[in-house]
Amino acid sequence: MHEFSIAQGLIEAATAAAQQAGARAVTILRCRIGIIRQVDNSLLTDAFELAREGGLCSKALLDIEKVPLRAQCTACDEPFEVDDWNWRCPKCDGESRGLVGGDELELVSIEAEVDDEDPRAAERV
């Protein structure tokens, strides 16, 4: 189950950013995961709930955005969503240039609680 190692990586990255900003707690982690990564959202959520215990992310929610498989046309330069493994451009039937989206695994942002008196509180987490 690679979802647990992904959850741990997200928590480690969020914790490091929160500590740098002087946060008391992380409330939300937002991530983008491409469909080609074959991550099961419910397994990742379950793994996240287990991995988050005992740290700054112990009460954080995980917000997952699934990113579809996307390619770009060599003829018209238009990006398009790959549907049913059809790599031809739906606009002009041109060939694709290859993958331009769908393999992401990114921690996009976190929301955290910070003390107003902390000078780092003005920084965006």
Q: Side-chain half-sphere of 104: how many Cα atoms within 13 Å?
A: 18
Rounded to the nearest integer, the mean pLDDT of the chain is: 92
Per-residue pLDDT at 108: 97
The model's confidence at residue 125, banded by pLDDT at 50, 70 and 90, is low
Per-residue pLDDT at 123: 53
Q: What are phi and psi of 111, to 5 degrees?
A: -115, 140
Strand partners, 113: 25
Q: Side-chain half-sphere of 29: how many Cα atoms within 13 Å?
A: 33
CATH number for the domain running over 2-114: 3.30.2320.80
Per-residue pLDDT at 46: 97
Per-residue pLDDT, averaged over 19-29, amounts to: 95
Strand partners, 34: 67
Per-residue pLDDT at 115: 81
Per-residue pLDDT, averaged over 10-33, amounts to: 96
User: CA 9 to CA 102: how far, in whole Å?
Assistant: 19
CB 28 within 8 A of CB 111: yes
pLDDT one-digit tens code per residue, 33-79: 999 999 999 999 999 999 999 999 999 999 999 999 999 999 999 99
Q: How many CB atoms lie within 10 A of CB 33?
A: 21
Per-residue pLDDT, averaged over 15-31, amounts to: 96
